[in-house]
Each structure stands twice: as C-alpha cells, then as structure tokens.
Amino acid sequence: MAVVFLGLGSNIERERYISAGLDALERLFGELDLSPVYDSPAIGFDGQPFFNLVVRVRTDLPLAQLATTLRHLETEFGRPPNATRYSARQLDIDILTYDDLVGAFGAVTLPRDEILRHAFVLRPLAELAPDITHPLDGRSYAQLWRAFDSAAQPTRRVDFSWRGRLISRAG
C-alpha cells in the first residue's frame, strides 16, 4: 500500500466542505490521519481565507487513478472542471507525496512544490509527519518548517470538529 499525503483546502463554506471532503476520503481510504486545521489567507488571488489541513491515507490505487478519483471528488463538491489554479473553491485536494515518488507523472508532479513554498501546506505536514523527510530536499518536514519564514505567510490553527470530535484546537 502506498502512503499518500494530501492537502485539503476550502474557502467557500469552509467547515461544510472540509468535513464533507473528510467524509468522502474516509469512505475511499478508511482510517485517516489528520493534521490540525489552519486558517490562512488566499495566495495568488483576492479571496476569502482558506481552511487547510493535511491528510495521510494508505491506498492501493495507482497514482493516475488516485489523481482522477480526487478530481472527481472536487467536481462533485462544486469545483468547475476548468477552474483556474488561483481561484475560490469549495474543496481542493492536492496530492503532496505518493510514497517517495519524484518526477512528473502525467498531470501530477511529485513531490508537490507547494510543500516548500507555502506555510499552509508545510506547517500542517510538519505537525502530522514531523520526522518524514522530503523526497528531494532530504530534510524532515519539522526541519523544513523550522527554517521556513512563517512570518511572511501567516497561518492560524483553528478549532475544528469532525463527526463530533475535536480534531484541531486553536493555538
């Protein structure tokens, strides 16, 4: 089974769509490992702030099939198939890593470059998997987060409940 880290985000009815996305991912993959949820500003466009988190799943799906499955989920939750990269969205699901694969695989490039560029990806990833190393950089996600200029990209952990249990506490 492949270990996959996914980035989830929403800036339209954030609580509703993050919860719905987690429900859908649990139906597909079973048990989910979740990072805390973060509030962060939209990057690359003027828009409402996002809720973001990272989810670890285990899957037998080949990478291409996983990518297709996740795009279908986004579409089911209202994302137009031709949506631009920097736009508001109900649910965004990005494959951050798939085992230790490195390179371009069709429409998916691994590891996703946003891991090293955006606090809303790196911070939750570092909390969920602090000792896992970046497949290209070689440093752990915790080391990468410590070296990151977090003041330039503010993120704020929020209280977030899913299925009646608190999965994220503000802090």
What is the C-alpha to C-alpha distance for residues 126 and 94, in angstroms, rounded to an integer?
16
At residue 84, the pLDDT reads 67
Q: What is the pLDDT of residue 45?
A: 78
CATH superfamily of 2-157: 7,8-Dihydro-6-hydroxymethylpterin-pyrophosphokinase HPPK (3.30.70.560)
Indicate the length of the chain as a whole number.
Answer: 171
pLDDT of residue 86: 65
Q: What is the pLDDT along the chain (171 residues), one digit of tens a residue?
A: 999 999 999 999 999 999 999 999 999 999 999 999 999 999 887 789 999 999 999 999 999 999 999 999 999 998 767 766 667 889 999 999 999 999 999 999 999 999 999 999 999 999 999 999 999 999 999 999 999 999 999 999 999 999 999 999 998
Look up residue 122 and give its amino acid. Answer: L
DSSP 8-state assignment for residue 17: H
Helices and strands per DSSP (H, E), number in the chain: 5, 10
Tokens at 110, concatenated: 């691994």
